[in-house]
Chain A
Amino acid sequence: MSESKKKLKAWNEIPIGGYITEPGNAREYKTGDWREGKKPVLKENKCNNCLLCWIYCPEGAIEREENGIKINYFYCKGCGICCVECPLKAIEMEEE
C-alpha cells in the first residue's frame, strides 16, 4: 500500500510520545519503485548458492531458499552490487 493511500491520523489517534508501535512496518513501502530501468536477473543454472549476493545486498532483497536464492523485486533498488560481486556471473543486469 503506498503512503498516499494510508489515511493520515489525528493527534488523538496516534500512540503517545511519537512512538511507532508496529515493528518493521517499513515492509509496506515498495522500494522497488526506485529502480531506474535495470534489474538484476538470476541465471539459476550458473548459481552455486554461495550466498555472497545475499550477504552483500543493502536491502535484504535477496531471499534465501532451500537450494538457491530469489530476488525480491518489491524491494530491489537495482544497485547492481549482486551482479558485480557474484563470482560465477550468475546475475545479470537486464532492462525491465
Chain B
Amino acid sequence: MAKLVALTGNEALAHAVKQCRPDVIAMYPITPQTQIVEELAQFYADGEIDAELIAAESEHSAMAACIGASLTGARVFTASASQGIALMFEMLFVASSFRLPIVMGVSNRALNSPLNIWNDMSDTMGVRDSGWIQIYNQNAQESYHTIVQAFRIAEDKDALLPVMSCHDGFVISHATEGLELLDQEDIDDFLPPREAHIPIDVNNPVTVGCVGVPEYYPEIKVQQEVATQNSLKIIKKIFSDFNKRFDTNYEIISSYKMEDAEVALLTIGSLAGTAQDAVNKLRKEGKKIGLLKLRVFRPFPIKELQESLKNVKAIGVIDRNISFGSMGGALSMEVRSALYELKNRPHIMGFPTGLGGRDTRIEHFEKVSEILLKVAQKDKVEENYKVVGCRGPGCINVTYDGV
C-alpha cells in the first residue's frame, strides 16, 4: 500500500536511497544537498539502513571512495552540488571509465564566482562530458522515483554506467511536497541486489586503471561511448517497466500541447511547472505554443528531439547555464546540433534563465514566447540567445512588486 507523505526533495531522495538497500554511502556536505546525507546519517543512526557511511574529507575524496567501494561490488551512493561537483570533476571521468554503477544525487546549484548557493545547472551541465547518465527531475516525487530507476539503470549488465539524478536546489530540494512512497517489497522486486561485473577478488585478480597507451586509448574510450549511446535503449526499457508496475508516465521527453504547436519551449528540471502555466495562459490567448520537458540529458536523445520538434517553426530552449563565449547554454547548443540535419529545421534560440536562482515567473516565459512567435512569423532569428532574468541591455527582464 503506497504511503502518502510530505517531504522535501532532499528528504524524498534520501528515502529512496534507503529503500534501495545501499551498501556504502560517501558523505560530504554542500548546500543545497546537505540534507540528503544528513537524512541518510540519521537513518543509519536509527538502524534503518544496513550500510557503511564514509565521512569523506572532500567531494573529490568522496567520489574516490565511491569508486573504491563500487569496485568491490558494493551498491554505492553519494550526493553533491555546485563546487563539489566541480571539485570531483576528474573522478567523475574515472567512475564512468571504470563502468561503475554509482548513483549520485545532485541538488543543482550555481558555480562560483561569485559564490551562489541558489539554483541553476552550471554544475551538472559543466560535467556533461564525464560519461555519467544525467536525469533531471521536476519535483520531489520524481526525485524519489528516479533514484529507484537510477540504480537499476546503472547496474544493468549492458549499461554499467554511473547515474546522476538531479533536482533544482532549494526549489525542489528544500520545498515540501506531498508524494507517495513505494512499498519496500515492490522496490525489492524491481531492483534486485547488485551483481558486479568483475568485483575485486584475490581469486580473480584484475588491474584497474592502467596506462592507456595511444595504441589502445581510443579503443577503450570508443567502447565506453558505444555503451553510453546504447544506454538510452536501456533507460527507455526501465522507464517502461517502472511505468507498468507503478502506474507512472516517465518518458525521455514529455510533450505538452505540442500537437499543433507552431512554437515550442523546451525546459529541463522544475521550470517545467512555470512554463506549463505560461503555455496555458498563452493558449487561452490563441497562441499556438507547446512545451517539451526533457528528462534525460545524457545520453542525449537525438532521435526523440528530432521527432518532437520537426514540425515546429521556432524553439526556445530554456537553458540553465551559460557556456561562456558561445551561443548560450549547453542545452540549447545540443538541441541545435541534434536538429541541424533536419530537412526543415526549426529556428532555435537559447534562453539562459534563472541563473544563480533568480526567480523565474510566467511573465518571463511570456516575453520569451513573444520573441519566438515573432521569429516564427518573420522566419528569421535576430539573436542566437538571450539571457532571461537580468537587468541591462540585451537581456530580458520583468519587473514585479515594483522592483
Q: Could you list which residues of chain A lie within 8 angstroms of chain B, going by C-beta atoms?
A: 8-12, 14-21, 23
- A23's partner among B160, B206, B226 (CB-CB below 8 A) is B206
Among B158-209, those with CB < 8 Å from A are 160, 197-198, 205-209
B220 at the interface (CB under 8 A from A): yes
Q: Could you list which residues of chain B lie within 8 angstroms of chain A, going by C-beta atoms?
A: 97-100, 160, 197-198, 205-210, 212, 215-216, 218-220, 222-224, 226-227
Q: How many A-B residue pairs have CB under 8 A?
A: 51
> In this complex, what residue of A is CB-closest to B220?
A18
- B97's partner among A12, A14, A18, A23 (CB-CB below 8 A) is A18
Neighbouring A residues of B98 by C-beta, 8 Å: 17-18
> Distance (Å) between the CB of B196 and the closest chain A CB?
12
Tell whether, in the assembled complex, residue A17 and residue B208 are in contact, meaning their CB atoms are under 8 Å apart: yes
- A20's partner among B99, B210, B218 (CB-CB below 8 A) is B210
Tell whether, in the assembled complex, residue A21 and residue B219 are in contact, meaning their CB atoms are under 8 Å apart: no
Tell whether, in the assembled complex, residue B197 and residue A21 are in contact, meaning their CB atoms are under 8 Å apart: no
Neighbouring A residues of B215 by C-beta, 8 Å: 8
Tell whether, in the assembled complex, residue B223 and residue A20 are in contact, meaning their CB atoms are under 8 Å apart: no
> Distance (Å) between the CB of B395 and the closest chain A CB?
45
Neighbouring B residues of A9 by C-beta, 8 Å: 219
Once bound together, how far apart are the Cα atoms of A89 and B216, in whole Å?
Answer: 45
Once bound together, how far apart are the Cα atoms of A19 and B204, in whole Å?
Answer: 12
> Distance (Å) between the CB of A37 and the closest chain B CB?
29
- B208's partner among A10, A14, A19 (CB-CB below 8 A) is A19
> In this complex, what residue of A is CB-closest to B99?
A17
Q: A15-B206, A18-B212 are in contact. List 18 more A-B contacts (CB 8 A).
A: A9-B219, A10-B219, A11-B218, A11-B220, A14-B219, A14-B220, A16-B99, A16-B160, A16-B223, A17-B100, A17-B160, A18-B98, A18-B209, A18-B220, A19-B207, A19-B208, A20-B207, A20-B210
Once bound together, how far apart are the Cα atoms of A8 and B215, in whole Å?
Answer: 8
- B206's partner among A8, A11, A21 (CB-CB below 8 A) is A21
> Distance (Å) between the CB of A28 and the closest chain B CB?
14
> Distance (Å) between the CB of A19 and the closest chain B CB?
5
Once bound together, how far apart are the Cα atoms of A11 and B97, in whole Å?
Answer: 14
Once bound together, how far apart are the Cα atoms of A17 and B198, in whole Å?
Answer: 10
> In this complex, what residue of B is CB-closest to A8?
B215
- A14's partner among B99, B207, B216, B226 (CB-CB below 8 A) is B216
> In this complex, what residue of B is CB-closest to A26?
B207
Neighbouring B residues of A11 by C-beta, 8 Å: 218-220, 222-223, 226
A-B CB contact pairs (8 Å), 23 listed: A8-B215, A8-B216, A9-B219, A10-B219, A11-B218, A11-B220, A11-B226, A12-B226, A14-B219, A15-B206, A16-B99, A16-B223, A17-B97, A17-B100, A17-B224, A18-B98, A18-B212, A18-B216, A19-B198, A19-B206, A19-B208, A21-B198, A21-B206
Neighbouring A residues of B210 by C-beta, 8 Å: 18, 20
> Distance (Å) between the CB of B342 and the closest chain A CB?
30
Neighbouring B residues of A17 by C-beta, 8 Å: 97-100, 160, 197, 208, 224
Once bound together, how far apart are the Cα atoms of A19 and B207, in whole Å?
Answer: 6
Neighbouring B residues of A20 by C-beta, 8 Å: 206-207, 210
> In this complex, what residue of A is CB-closest to B160?
A16
- Of A12, A17, A20, A21, most buried by chain B (CB within 10 Å of CB) is A17
**A-B residue pairs, 9 tightest by C-beta:** A20-B207, A11-B219, A17-B99, A23-B205, A18-B220, A11-B222, A11-B223, A17-B98, A19-B206
